[in-house]
């Protein structure tokens, strides 16, 4: 993690509030960082002065004067590029916040349905059915704003909290409020720009507490020895947003943070809508492999049936929110609140919402209120504050209990878990948590996992929770990503149209020598699992697209692969055929336990000389993933090849996701070049 992470921890270190492990990490960093040591000395001096100081009695109207002055300063400062270093910005922001709290008192801090957390006992604190209404903070005077486009009001909840010390009032309002566009330059980019100007370049090793499961890439398999390939579909997109976070932080992502299938599936493709009774259509295409001209790429695309929000069945949603101490950072709980505000705005009167939180213990904030009770739900979310340890398992248990109690037999039942994944109290072993989730999914309750933050992000654990809970995972690195998940793709996020979707491909040895599935390493299944309806697999939501790519080697290729010895008791007979491969799919209706079978065949004659826009863009994303992973199968992959193909296949791109991808490829290319120069 870069220097900013340590600065945010220094105050807790000074107050002796860090656990032993974090304390040792901070002390190791301080030993080698003169800038952070200077920050610590400033904080120590500030602490001494504040303890010695006695607040005078303020005259009437002082409160409004202070608040108006702060807003005026922020408006003036927000129109120009930030030029001050962190050591200057922190004292001005922190002292301004301290003055407001000291002089004005606590009447402006969030009030309402707080959950008392007993660190020694797990107690469910339930507000029966409807949380009490909480009046908004009282503001004696709303200052006049010269720029009406900003519409800044101090009474709005997004003006409060830890955001104040990081971006200032104006940027906080723009970045976190659901009604405004993000600033041209994100806070992450500003912080990294300051670090770069100061000569500090973060290293990948500094993401010391983030956790990613090791990925062992799929290898080429000889068709004569193993003609079947079976895997579970995956519509998760967390890896792409997480990779974007690293790149926007001016560093390449760890190799195991790059799951190629999630990069490819972040984007939608122009596959046809299903025409029959099946909930999705199947599209196939084969063309030359862009990074190895002697190979071919077979594309398999699924398009889920599109549904309008008003056509969705009623939802029973449980927001399970992590409010532990690890969620204090600006890109965790504050961003989480803004993300959930977007979701709440999409709810209908027939939908029901509950809120469960967990820190040292778990508690119920709201127990099933109507979706049109927006003010109550919004205020309950806004009042959440971070602190304490992380009893994640207790929260999961309680959330599923609430979901089951309010189960809609004819509707959509879902737990939405929002966390950085740092479970450290209760059932902490991976096996216990996964068994817990597997038991609960049989109640017909699906799971959506939303990841937030950096530094101690537990990607591997959250991905497995989503997989075992009949659900999906997304990583929220900005308000725009929250909009993508909760507004643009709301139906797919909330409503599952098919579960336990499996794909099995049979390759014809007369036409294919070897093959490898690109990505999906943690979704591989045994061939026998394809017809076993007790085996869990992936889910697809309304409107979702799923894309899988196979790299295949033609049968007449001279390329050599590792092979087993000839069998003694049986021989493999090859049947002449012009078929290249056969794709079979199995899926279940969301409330059914018996699967249905689909099948389609690709012939040699169908190999395309001019591949489609879908094919060109999907393979450009996959090639980028090979480069980010420094894959042993990247062959002749290059950033230039990725950029040329992606630019030519950008299409209409109404939401700008493909244009953003091109910018990220350019950024990754520069960072990769720089890292190679450093290694020299």
Neighbouring residues of 484: CB distance < 8 A, sequence distance ≥ 6: 655, 657
Whole-angstrom distance, CA of residue 385 vs CA of residue 100? 18
Segment 120-136 shows an average pLDDT of 38
Whole-angstrom distance, CA of residue 672 vs CA of residue 678? 10
Confidence at 424, pLDDT banded by 50, 70, 90? low
Residue with the two structure tokens 């492999």: 289
Segment 410-433 shows an average pLDDT of 75
For the chain, the farthest-separated pair of C-alpha atoms sits apart, in whole angstroms, at: 98
Nearest-CA neighbor of 360 among 582, 123, 651?
Answer: 123
Neighbouring residues of 592: CB distance < 8 A, sequence distance ≥ 6: none
Percent of the chain exceeding pLDDT 70 equals 73
Supply the pLDDT for residue 124: 36
Supply the pLDDT for residue 142: 32
Q: Parallel, antiparallel, or unpaired for β 472-475 and 446-451?
A: parallel
- Out of 169-173, 226-230, 324-328, 566-570, which region has the weakest mean confidence (pLDDT)? 169-173
- The whole-model pTM stands at 0.71
Residues 43-92 have pLDDT tens digits of 888 777 776 665 555 554 555 555 556 655 655 555 444 444 333 344 44
Residues 494-503 have pLDDT tens digits of 889 999 999 9
Higher pLDDT, 510 or 95: 510
- Out of 369-378, 395-404, 411-420, 432-441, which region has the weakest mean confidence (pLDDT)? 432-441
Residue with the two structure tokens 């079976």: 230
- The rounded mean pLDDT for the chain is 78
Confidence at 35, pLDDT banded by 50, 70, 90? confident
Residue 483: is its pLDDT beyond 90? yes
Supply the pLDDT for residue 423: 66
Contact 71, 169 (CB under 8 A): yes
Tokens of 454: 């950096």
Higher pLDDT, 30 or 86: 30
Confidence at 438, pLDDT banded by 50, 70, 90? confident
Residue with the two structure tokens 């990607």: 459
Residues 268-286 have pLDDT tens digits of 999 999 998 999 999 999 9
Q: Parallel, antiparallel, or unpaired for β 352-358 and 315-322?
A: parallel
Whole-angstrom distance, CA of residue 638 vs CA of residue 623? 8
| 3 state SS of 336 | helix
- Out of 3-17, 353-367, 561-575, which region has the weakest mean confidence (pLDDT)? 3-17
Confidence at 309, pLDDT banded by 50, 70, 90? confident
R_g of the chain, CA atoms, integer Å? 27
Tokens of 510: 């007369």
Domains along the chain with CATH numbers: 223-307+497-679 (2.60.40.1230), 315-492 (3.40.50.410)
Supply the pLDDT for residue 94: 47
Whole-angstrom distance, CA of residue 668 vs CA of residue 656? 18
Segment 374-389 shows an average pLDDT of 88
Q: Which residues of 236-261 are buried (b: 16+ CB within 10 A; e: fewer)?
A: bbbbbbbbbbbbbbbbbbbebbbbbb
Supply the pLDDT for residue 59: 54
Confidence at 434, pLDDT banded by 50, 70, 90? confident
Supply the pLDDT for residue 55: 55
Supply the pLDDT for residue 394: 79
Segment 375-384 shows an average pLDDT of 92
Contact 372, 349 (CB under 8 A): yes
Residues 86-123 have pLDDT tens digits of 333 444 444 444 444 444 444 433 444 444 434 443 33
Supply the pLDDT for residue 678: 63
Q: Parallel, antiparallel, or unpaired for β 412-419 and 446-451?
A: parallel
Higher pLDDT, 500 or 362: 500
Contact 613, 270 (CB under 8 A): yes
Best-predicted range by mean pLDDT among 19-23, 254-258, 569-573?
254-258
Residues 522-553 have pLDDT tens digits of 999 999 999 999 999 999 999 999 999 999 99
Segment 591-614 shows an average pLDDT of 94
Whole-angstrom distance, CA of residue 554 vs CA of residue 513? 5
Supply the pLDDT for residue 167: 30
Tokens of 480: 């725009």
Q: Parallel, antiparallel, or unpaired for β 315-322 and 412-419?
A: parallel
Residues 138-165 have pLDDT tens digits of 333 333 333 333 232 323 333 233 222 2
Percent of the chain exceeding pLDDT 90 equals 48
């Amino acid at each position: 993690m870069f220097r900013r992470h340590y600065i945010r921890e220094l105050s807790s270190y000074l107050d002796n509030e860090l656990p032993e492990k974090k304390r040792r990490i901070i002390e190791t960093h301080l030993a080698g960082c003169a800038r952070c040591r200077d920050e610590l000395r400033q904080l120590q001096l500030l602490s001494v002065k504040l303890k010695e100081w006695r607040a005078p009695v303020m005259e009437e109207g002082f409160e409004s004067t202070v608040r108006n002055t702060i807003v005026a300063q922020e408006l003036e400062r927000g129109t120009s590029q930030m030029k001050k270093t962190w050591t200057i910005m922190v004292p001005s922001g922190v002292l301004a916040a301290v003055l407001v709290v000291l002089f004005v008192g606590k009447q402006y801090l969030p009030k309402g349905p707080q959950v008392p957390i007993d660190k020694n006992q797990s107690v469910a604190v339930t507000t029966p059915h409807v949380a009490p209404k909480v009046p908004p903070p009282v503001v004696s005077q709303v200052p006049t704003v010269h720029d009406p486009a900003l519409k800044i009001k101090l009474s709005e909840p997004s003006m409060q909290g830890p955001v104040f010390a990081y971006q200032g009032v104006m940027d906080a309002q723009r970045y976190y409020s659901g009604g405004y566009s993000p600033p041209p330059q994100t806070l992450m980019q500003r912080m990294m720009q300051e670090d770069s100007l100061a000569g500090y370049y973060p290293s990948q090793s500094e993401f010391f507490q983030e956790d990613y499961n090791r990925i062992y890439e799929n290898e080429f398999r000889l068709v004569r020895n193993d003609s079947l390939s079976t895997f579970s579909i995956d519509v998760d997109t967390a890896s792409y947003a997480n990779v974007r976070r690293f790149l926007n932080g001016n560093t390449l992502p760890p190799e195991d943070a790059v799951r190629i299938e999630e990069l490819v599936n972040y984007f939608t493709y122009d596959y046809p809508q299903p025409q029959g009774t099946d909930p999705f259509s199947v599209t196939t295409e084969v063309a030359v492999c862009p990074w190895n001209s002697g190979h071919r790429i077979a594309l398999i695309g699924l398009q889920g049936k599109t549904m309008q929000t008003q056509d969705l069945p009623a939802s029973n949603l449980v927001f399970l929110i992590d409010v532990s101490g690890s969620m204090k950072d600006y890109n965790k709980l504050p961003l989480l609140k803004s993300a959930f505000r977007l979701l709440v705005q999409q709810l209908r009167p027939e939908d029901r919402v509950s809120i469960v939180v967990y820190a040292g213990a778990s508690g119920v904030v709201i127990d099933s209120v109507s979706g049109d009770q927006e003010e109550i739900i919004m205020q309950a979310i806004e009042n959440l504050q971070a602190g304490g340890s992380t009893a994640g398992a207790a929260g999961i248990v309680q959330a599923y209990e609430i979901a089951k109690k309010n189960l809609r037999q004819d509707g959509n039942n879902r737990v939405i878990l929002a966390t950085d994944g740092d479970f450290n109290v209760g059932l902490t072993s991976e096996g216990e948590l996964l068994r817990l989730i597997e038991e609960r999914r049989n109640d017909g309750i699906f799971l959506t996992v939303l990841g937030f933050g950096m530094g101690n992000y537990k990607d591997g654990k959250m991905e497995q929770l989503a997989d075992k809970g009949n659900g999906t995972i997304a990583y929220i690195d900005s308000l725009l990503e929250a909009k993508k998940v909760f507004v643009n793709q709301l139906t797919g996020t909330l409503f599952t149209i098919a579960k336990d979707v499996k794909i099995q491909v049979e390759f014809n040895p007369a036409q294919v020598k070897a093959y490898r599935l690109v990505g999906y390493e943690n979704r591989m299944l045994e061939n026998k699992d394809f017809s076993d309806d007790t085996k869990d697999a992936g889910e697809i939501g309304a409107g979702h697209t799923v894309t899988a790519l196979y790299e295949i080697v033609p049968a007449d290729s001279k390329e050599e692969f590792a092979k087993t010895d000839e069998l003694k008791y049986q021989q493999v007979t090859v049947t002449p055929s012009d078929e290249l491969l056969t794709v079979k799919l199995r899926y279940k209706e969301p409330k059914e336990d018996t699967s249905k079978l689909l099948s389609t065949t690709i012939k040699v004659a169908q190999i395309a000389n001019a591949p489609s826009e879908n094919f060109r863009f999907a393979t450009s994303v996959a090639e980028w993933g090979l480069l980010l992973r420094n894959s042993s199968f990247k062959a002749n992959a290059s950033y230039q090849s990725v950029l040329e193909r992606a630019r030519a296949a950008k299409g209409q791109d109404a939401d700008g996701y493909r244009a953003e991808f091109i910018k990220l490829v350019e950024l990754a290319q520069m960072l990769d070049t720089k890292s190679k120069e450093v290694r020299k």
